[in-house]
Structure 1
């Protein structure tokens, strides 16, 4: 969390970003206000106060659009609905498109938008009922809402999801780069640990042999007190060096240095010979066919013998050590047994307690088994059985698979594909549903727009609208049918009613002026039949 002043560069970036946003919002407000002014003047049907109110509310919607885009969309819908119950207007349709797109682009979740669309749909139904425009007006309202609001919202949401996909791709790429660096660091540390282990085994073995030689000189009666004291100091120095080696085992080699290794190609026989030259009472017994061993097996056999001899020299100085190497057709067994330490032997060297643990892991990786423990005569035995051909140990069952960068990127791609499908399928499905509703309502309206001949005959010229309404069906034909004769001059409005449920003509025509019936007639399509209206006045 920042507690001090922000850097100057960051403040300048914030100011530039804020200025850019204000300029974009001002340009958007000017564009949308232009449609309102275009319809308002000259004589566009809007009063000056309604134009001023519309321009002001459009400005408020632009100001709120970054924080609350759905509120801005609601303002645009309300302005358009006050002009026309069908929602489609020259002044505010562009505002519907723009704020619909920005709602999908800026809103993080889809559910509030769906609730808003449902509320607008319900409000449109109420508005159509109050305005007495019927369901056809509401169908037009839904069509405008679909193509001017919902489709732009889907496009904006797709653009948002695509931008999130791009951002997620860059984030995942950065994460993968960091993970690769971490893997490289782990590999370097693992290599250092392996080299450190080899160094510990090799140098620890040599230091133990030095201590054994110094201990032999320390008790040699042929030497004087001064020489024996010096030998004891050498032995103690070897012990201290072993302890320091264990303490700094993790930082043996810095970056760029050559890796130290133990004697290359040293056999078990050479190892035993070196130990004997150092003063250890050791014997080697070999049996079985001398077939060449796999490199990993040969290295493991050498390590078992080396670690066991080192432990014998450290913890049982002066004891006899027997090394057995037994080969058969399938495996090789190496066993190192040391007797009980002699009485009066010098004190043992310190132990880190991890040599046998590391040895067990090396033998396991070579496909063998390691056993160690006290012997019957009070000594200690270490033995390992390894196959001639390396058999890798079974890999432990992996735990629950963690989500990877590839899977996260795939999920982001699936979200974008789902958004694209929604942007295509949702409008098509909505149009299909709206078409079915309109077709069903058309059938219903046709069935309710049939005027009975008896009721038609009861109508009298001069009847008021209230009286005629009691004799007429619930619906009339929507507008003057194409092809019928001209309406009587001077009539304010004319309504058409069906004579048969599914027949387009002939029709009953009723015309009104000043709220009274002035003409009634039966009309036909003049393109198909001579127009011979049967009038009754």
Structure 2
């Protein structure tokens, strides 16, 4: 059988010595007022034997009750019950009894409050002979009513204080929970951002290493290269290795938790595709770039276009060294941006660098994120073809070519068709 879990009560906050002194002092003041009121009701010139309890016993009982109140937090029910019973024999202890009942009511447990209130109301009926005061007929009922009203006032006050205290504790706990949740969300956002930056740097690093491997393979495959071409390849390998090392340092810096604000590399964009092709061509790839777009796509589409081309060139350098590669970009606003990268069969055999297996799946995920499709398959000539179709909204901000204007921002040496 399943039972509902009982919520655990929060511990009450510890009071300081001054707070406890003020509480006991207030109880003593209330008791003193009631003690003086009782003394005013005594007959004038009462004998020492008939008023001795008022002068000696009453203050001693009150002193014991005020002392016991200091232990109320540790033993709430026994102390409150003892003080409630003892206050029946001491008017000066009435303040301590009211304080004990109110403190117990602040716990908001009716099963504890009821016996203490009953003792406080009924016990005075057993001590009526301690004070020689003339009582009218029916005075027990009047005394019971006054005791009940007094106890009810103490219970209501203590209950309200307890409710207010619980509300404050609840608000504090909610505030702490909200702070913890906010901190967790901030930590998660930082981790996701670090992973995104590291992933971008990984793609760039993989591309550079593939180009270095391509150049090193060319040196190994063509031992008869002229010295000038060999020097160009060696400089390309040195430059690519240096850039790859810088990217690797950036990746490690981003992945370190103590350096979350490491600067990230430039964001991929559509207008950086020609520079990407130039970089790959300089490393020895046989590349052809054909641009047939009538404008420049939005940033999100251009970002994915750049990544698709970079991943295709990286795979071509890894798996088909020396093969001719053709990159075609075509499209217009309101339609789709087509990205086609085809490479022929490898021109030479070389040891393939290890593959992570995350390149094409990661690109497919990015293409789907912008609503596009990705297709890749072997070509009939033993090559490989990769095709991406990315939606190009007509209402997205982009640079559309006008009459006589280039289809994209001009770069030195850019042409509608670029061949090596």
Shorter-chain TM band: 0.5 to 0.7
Question: Secondary structure of 1:64's partner?
Answer: coil
Question: Secondary structure of 2:163's partner?
Answer: helix
- Contact 1:285–1:324 at 8 Å: present in 2 too? yes
Show the counterpart of 2:343.
338
What whole-Å deviation, never above 9, does each CA across 1:318-375 have from its counterpart, x for those lacking one?
2333334343643223232334434x42222233333334323332332323344555
Displacement of 1:297 after TM fit?
0.7
- Contact 1:307–1:355 at 8 Å: present in 2 too? yes
Displacement of 1:317 after TM fit?
1.6
1:33-182 paired onto structure 2 within 5 Å: 34=32, 38=36, 39=38, 43=46, 47=53, 50-51=57-58, 54-55=61-62, 57-59=64-66, 61-80=68-87, 90-91=91-92, 93-105=94-106, 107=107, 109-116=108-115, 120=119, 124=122, 137=140, 141=144, 144-145=147-148, 147-170=149-172, 172-173=174-175, 176-177=178-179, 180=182
- Contact 2:325–2:344 at 8 Å: present in 1 too? yes
- Gap change, CA 1:281 and 1:119, over 3 Å in 2: farther
Show the counterpart of 2:300.
296
- Contact 1:36–1:54 at 8 Å: present in 2 too? no
- Contact 1:340–1:378 at 8 Å: present in 2 too? yes
Quote the Cα distance in structure 2 between the aligned partners of 1:247 and 1:45: 94
- Contact 2:105–2:162 at 8 Å: present in 1 too? yes
Show the counterpart of 1:355.
359
- Gap change, CA 1:375 and 1:114, over 3 Å in 2: farther
RCO comparison, higher one (Cα < 8 Å, 6+): 2
Calculate the TM-score normalised by the size of structure 2. 0.65
Show the counterpart of 1:480.
none
- Gap change, CA 1:94 and 1:114, over 3 Å in 2: closer
- Gap change, CA 1:301 and 1:206, over 3 Å in 2: same
- Contact 2:28–2:96 at 8 Å: present in 1 too? no
1:270-285 paired onto structure 2 within 5 Å: 270-285=275-290
Question: Secondary structure of 1:214's partner?
Answer: helix
Show the counterpart of 1:476.
none
- Gap change, CA 1:110 and 1:210, over 3 Å in 2: same
Show the counterpart of 1:323.
327
Quote the Cα distance in structure 2 between the aligned partners of 1:156 and 1:375: 85
Show the counterpart of 2:130.
none
Question: Secondary structure of 1:99's partner?
Answer: helix
- Gap change, CA 1:211 and 1:19, over 3 Å in 2: same
- Contact 1:336–1:382 at 8 Å: present in 2 too? yes
1:78-477 paired onto structure 2 within 5 Å: 78-80=85-87, 90-91=91-92, 93-105=94-106, 107=107, 109-116=108-115, 120=119, 124=122, 137=140, 141=144, 144-145=147-148, 147-170=149-172, 172-173=174-175, 176-177=178-179, 180=182, 183-223=185-225, 249-252=251-254, 254=259, 258-261=263-266, 266-285=271-290, 290-327=294-331, 329-342=334-347, 344-372=348-376, 374=378, 378-389=382-393
- Contact 2:270–2:297 at 8 Å: present in 1 too? no
Quote the Cα distance in structure 2 between the aligned partners of 1:277 and 1:228: 13
- Which segment is superposed worse, 95-104 or 371-380? 371-380
Q: 5+ unaligned residues in a row in structure 1: which ranges?
A: 1-13, 84-88, 129-133, 392-537
Displacement of 1:313 after TM fit?
0.9
Quote the Cα distance in structure 2 between the aligned partners of 1:28 and 1:189: 56
Paired residues, what number? 360
Question: Secondary structure of 1:223's partner?
Answer: coil
Quote the Cα distance in structure 2 between the aligned partners of 1:339 and 1:135: 116
